[in-house]
Structure 1
């Protein structure tokens, strides 16, 4: 069987802990090239995964050695590298947030359309078993009309996760563009859009820097979101949760409340108005902490869409809609007004 030749651009933690191991585990894939501006890191990773090392992404893209790439770089490079790869006729899996502006996102989407190649944005929360089940229940009317929601994603911060610790690009606004809101919050805007099956239309937000004062990006954000049908809820994204990671979501409905990833044993708990409680053990959500889900399913979904010639599991258009909520939150924080998405 012919294998899909993959290149990974950016050899930091997200590549080393997610993309590369998941590609390696996929029988349809051959990792042929990796790239990082840190030559020593590129060579180390290349050796581990039996690939060719590059320090220049343009050379990797034009090498003819890959058919698809993962873009695992600092946020400010997501758009230029993705666009260059798409223009060169390569499929692209880009980490989130997909871009740092509407203009960049539009250019990525246009490049994907012009090339006819797959552009996928790495929103893994869509593929978590409990989230898939909750979406199905809402679509089937099992909880009736949705009234409200609360979603949160917080942990100690990327300095314990990134290969560069406190010196990581995550804390540099020129490279990251945005802090916890872009790192964690965009996952939750994507999840809420996806799970409710409707768009977020208005945002009110407070975005602050309280814990990571050695950097110049936000580390705490709390937002109020309103959907097209008038469902309102809150979103919190934080790098200052010094205890256990919180990656939970609660959906409040007419007939039941759905509790997602709140209980360590039962990833989905449904509390009906009748007094009945149903608990589902569906495996744990992907986490940086020990015991978390090891496979994000993003890579497998990306590979499958290419091999089977299917549409992108999370298209550029979808990535942009989730990014738009984050951009609106930043605007709301600056203007101190409710912002339309």
Structure 2
């Protein structure tokens, strides 16, 4: 059995707990969280035998892997300590909010010989995986342009994330969109130009930008435009608006993972949007007969398989480093009004 622990018992920490608890290869051993009541609640529900408030105490256990599911700026110390104990690490995106922290985590994992995987779960998102396969097979020829939109309703920054003012839609969603776009493009990014706007969320009591529009240039002249917003109306039929258009020399692919209308319900219960949207999630984290399904489970299962089979993960610390570099370049561009050339 692969023995794992989870650091962070919040919304997505619960997702990791469900994924591990139903995986026959895994023993969920421990939950660590600053809120012991929340940690005990999660451990009790999913069968973890031990609960900790201290990461140092948890890392004294004989663990094979841990999930780090803490806020964006609280990954580095945990990852480095786990790596030095010889424990493989799955860390939520972004890897870190500074390049120095990314380098430190990568170095710690490489020195210890453990895996450092970033949970870029859209690489397991079926429509995006099919698009990636088609690109890899050469069916589109040379990819010249990608448009990628990934946005949320105001529910996320105003109700779901109590720490939204300490983050941004760029770190929360832009990180996913940038990683998926680079993965699909398969080329080195060379330049970033970004604009952001602020005002709507500030009036709602959340001091963070409303939206970012980011243009990324790649080697060979390819372009990508990435749109991320946190101000879709609460009444929207789905919590997430996710779209992608890929144009190549020989063809095009259009993706709509959220407004696919596999299921649409119009009633009093769905008129106010999430958590009862008209178009409920069918592919990210649906539950079927109380079992957690969806591609978000698959990326976590991949981490387990990597430990079991001694195979490197498909989403690495180096991918996390590139992602943080792109986000920091986008922020610099948005502040200065100038394009940022990447080294």
Tell me, yes or no, whether TM beats 0.5: yes
CA RMSD of aligned residues (A): 2.2
State how far apart, in whole Å, the 2-side matches of 1:12 and 1:50 are.
17
CA contact under 8 A between 2:121 and 2:295: conserved in structure 1?
Answer: no
How far apart are the structure 1 equivalents of 2:170 and 2:293?
Answer: 22
Aligned: 1:264 with 2:264 = no
* 1:225 maps onto 2:243 in alignment: no
For 1:124 and 1:264, the matched residues in 2 are separated by 19
Match of 1:114 in 2: 111
Equivalent residues of 1:13, 1:161 under 8 A apart: no
Per-residue deviation at 1:144? Answer: 2.3
- Equivalenced residues, count: 311
Distance across 2 between alignment mates of 1:151 and 1:26 = 32
Structure 2 equivalent of residue 200 of structure 1: 189
CA contact 1:154–1:236 (8 Å) conserved in 2: yes
Deviations 1:124-155 (A, max 9, x none): 01111211211121122212232212101101
Aligned counterparts of 1:226 and 1:41: Cα–Cα separation in 2 = 44
Mapped partners of 1:161, 1:13: distance in 2: 12
Q: 1:150 aligns with which of 147, 151, 165?
A: 147
CA-CA distance at 1:170 after TM superposition: 2.7
Q: 1:288, 1:192 → 2: CA distance?
A: 24
Question: How big is the shift at 1:161?
Answer: 6.6
- The reply on whether 1:248 has 2:243 as its aligned counterpart is yes
- Of 16, 24, 27 in structure 2, the residue corresponding to residue 27 of structure 1 is 24
Q: Provide the rounded CA distance (Å) in 1 between the counterparts of 2:93 and 2:328.
A: 13
For 1:73, the equivalent position in structure 2 comes to 70
Instruction: Tell me what 1:340 maps to.
Output: 341
- Residue in 2 aligned with 1:271? none
Is 2:49 aligned against 1:90? no
Specify whether residues 13 and 288 from structure 1 end up closer, same or farther in structure 2 by C-alpha distance, changes over 3 A only. Answer: farther
Q: Deviations over 1:22-75 (max 9, x none)?
A: 11121110101001111111111111122211111121112x242211000111
The 1:288–1:326 alpha-carbon spacing in structure 2 relative to 1, beyond 3 Å, is farther
Query: In 1, distance between residues paired with 2:152 and 2:287?
Result: 10
- Contact kept, 8 Å, 1:32 with 1:65, in 2: the verdict is no
User: Quick one: structure 1 residues 155 and 179, their matched pair in 2 at CA, closer, same or farther if it must change by over 3 Å?
Assistant: same
How has the CA–CA distance of structure 1 residues 23 and 12 changed in structure 2, closer, same or farther, with 3 Å as cutoff?
A: same
Q: Mind listing any 5+ residue stretches in structure 2 that lack a counterpart?
A: 263-280
Change beyond 3 A, Cα 1:169–1:289:
farther
Give TM-score, length-normalised by structure 2. Answer: 0.85
Structure 1: how far apart are the matches of 2:159 and 2:285?
11
3-state SS in 2 of match to 1:247: strand
Secondary structure at the aligned position of 1:77 is classed as coil
Q: Please, what TM-score do these two structures have when normalized by structure 1?
A: 0.86
Q: Secondary structure at the match of 1:75?
A: coil
Q: 1:288 to 1:233 in 2, by over 3 A?
A: farther
Residue 235 of structure 1: SS of its match in structure 2?
A: strand
Tell me the equivalent position of 1:324.
Answer: 325
Aligned to 2:308: 307
TM-superposed CA distance for 1:295, in Å, is: 3.8
Q: 1:200/1:161 Cα in 2 relative to 1: closer, same or farther (>3 Å)?
A: farther
